[in-house]
Amino acid sequence: MTQTLAHARRPVRQLLAASVGNAVEWYDWYAYTFLATYIAGQIFPKSSGNSLVPLLSTFAVFAVGFFMRPVGGLLMGAVADRHGRRVALTATILLMGGSSLLVGLTPTYASVGILAPVILVAARLLQGLSVGGEFAASTTFLVESAGPGRRGLFSSFQYVSTTIGQLAASGIAAALVSGLGDGQMEGWGWRVPFLVGAVLSLVGFWIRRGAEETLRLTGEGAAQPRPGLFDALRRHPRESLLICGITAGGTIAYYTWTSYLPTYAELNAGIDKADALLAGTLSLAFFALLQPLGGLLSDRYGRKPLLLFFGVGFALLSVPLLRSIGGSFGSLLLVQCAGMVLLTGFTSISAAVNAEIFPARVRAAGIGFPYSLTVALFGGTAPYVGTLFKELGRPGLFPWYVSLLCLVSVAVYLRLPESAHKELD
C-alpha cells in the first residue's frame, strides 16, 4: 500500500519540482521588467555625467535576452545531459536565486558610482544564463517524467508555471506601487520583489532536491561516453534546425500577445495604459487555464493538429485581429483572448514536441541552444520591431511580420512526423 501511494505521488512531485522552480525563475525575470523604471533611476541616473552609464544601461537591457539565454541553454543543457536533469534544475534555480539577491542588494549609483551598473549587469547576465538553462532542463525533465499518453499534459505545465510567475511578479509589483509612495519605491520598495524571489528560490531548490532523476529512466546505458558540449549540434543538425522552425512562429506570437500587445494597443489604438494592463492580466490568467486542455488534446489527437491550428490560425488572423483593436477595453480583451486560444496550440505542447525530436543522450542541450537562440532573434525582439515599424510610419507592417513568421512555421509543421503516440527514447 505504501509503495502504491509513493508511485502515485511521483508524477505530482515531478510536476511540482519542475513547475514551482520554473514559476520562480520567471517571477524573478519579469520582476525586473515591471520595476525597470525605478531601478534605472537609482542605478543608471541620467545626471551621472559618465558616458558609460547609458551604455551599461543599454547592455543590461539587451545582453541577457540576445546573448546569455542561448549560452545558458547550451551550457545548462549540456550539464543536464552529462550529469542529470535534477543537477541542472537545482543549478538553474540557485543561479536565479543568487542573481535575484544580487539585484535586490545592488548599491545605488550615488553610493558606489559606476560599480552599481556593473553589478546590476552582472546579475542580469546570470539571470539570462539561468533562464536559458531552465527551459532546456525543465522541458526535458517534464516530458521524461510523464507516464504513457501524458507527455502533452505534462508539457503544458511549462507555460502554466511561466504564466503564474509572470502574474505573481506583476501582482507584487502593482501592490507595492499602489501601497508605497514614489519616494519609498525609489528608495527601497523596488528591492522587495527580488529579495522575495531569492527566498522563493530556496523553496524551489528544496522541492527540486527531492525530485527523481529521469535521465537513467530513459534507457541510456551508464557505460556510454558523456556527450560533449556541441554533440547535439554536430550530430543532429537537422533536428536543431527543426527546433528553430518550430519555434519561430510560436515565439513571435507568444511575445506579441503576452508582452507587447498592451503597448501596441496604446501606441496604435489609443487605449488607456491601465485598461491595457488589466486586459493583459486577465488574458494571461485565461491563457494559463487553457494549457492543460491543449496538452490533453494533443495526447489524444496528436501534436500536428494543434500545431497547425496555431500556425494557420495566426498566419490568417494576425492581421485582422491586430487591426480590429479599437479604443475600448472590451475590444482589446477580446483580441487578446482570441489570440491566447490560438497560441495554446503551440505553447501547451512545445516542450513535448521539442523533447520528442532528440534522443535522450543530447536532449537537453539539443533543445536548449536552438530554442533559446530563436527566441532571442524573433521573440525578444518583437517589441522593438513593432516600435520600429511605428517610428517608420508603417505600423501596419508588424501584423504581417507576425503572420509571415507563423507561415514559415506552418511549412515546418506540415513536414513534421507525428510523435505523440511514439515511445520516448
Domain boundaries, the chain: 1-209, 228-425
Instruction: Scan for cell 488534446, then name that residue.
Output: 297
CATH of region 1-209, choose from 1.20.1250.20, 2.60.40.10, 2.30.30.40, 1.10.10.10: 1.20.1250.20
Please, where are the H alpha helices in 272-349? Answer: 273-301, 303-323, 329-347
Torsion, CA 347, CA 349, CA 354, CA 358, rounded to 10: 170
Distance CA 395, CA 336 (A): 18
CB 242 within 8 A of CB 412: yes
Three-state DSSP state, 365: helix
What is the structure's pLDDT at 322?
Answer: 87
Dihedral angle over CA of 301, 305, 307, 312, nearest 10: -160
Q: Do domains 1-209 and 228-425 have the same CATH topology?
A: yes
Grid cell in block for residue 339 = 489570440
> What's the confidence (pLDDT) of residue 263?
76
Are 87 and 148 in contact, with CB atoms under 8 Å apart? no
How far apart are alpha carbons 350 and 365 in whole angstroms?
A: 16
Q: Which 8-state DSSP code applies to residue 359?
A: -
CA atoms of 318 and 408, how far apart (whole Å): 14
Is-above-0.75 flag for pTM? yes
pLDDT by 10s per residue, the chain, length 425: 444 434 445 677 788 888 887 888 888 878 887 787 788 778 877 665 665 555 456 455 555 656 788 888 888 888 888 888 888 888 898 998 998 999 899 998 888 888 888 888 888 888 888 888 888 888 888 888 887 788 889 999 989 999 999 899 888 888 888 788 778 888 888 899 999 999 998 888 888 887 788 776 444 444 456 666 677 777 878 888 999 999 999 999 998 888 778 877 877 778 887 788 788 889 999 999 999 999 999 999 999 999 999 999 999 999 899 888 877 888 889 999 999 999 999 999 999 999 888 887 888 888 888 988 898 888 877 877 887 887 788 888 888 999 999 999 999 999 998 887 887 76
E-state strands within 30-180? none
Q: Cα(299)–Cα(156) distance, rounded to whole angstroms?
A: 11
Write the CB contacts of 264 (distance below 8 Å, at least 6 apart in sequence).
256, 322, 325, 386, 398
CATH dotted code for 228-425: 1.20.1250.20
Asked if 144 and 71 count as a contact pair (C-beta separation under 8 A), the reply is: no
pLDDT at 320: 92
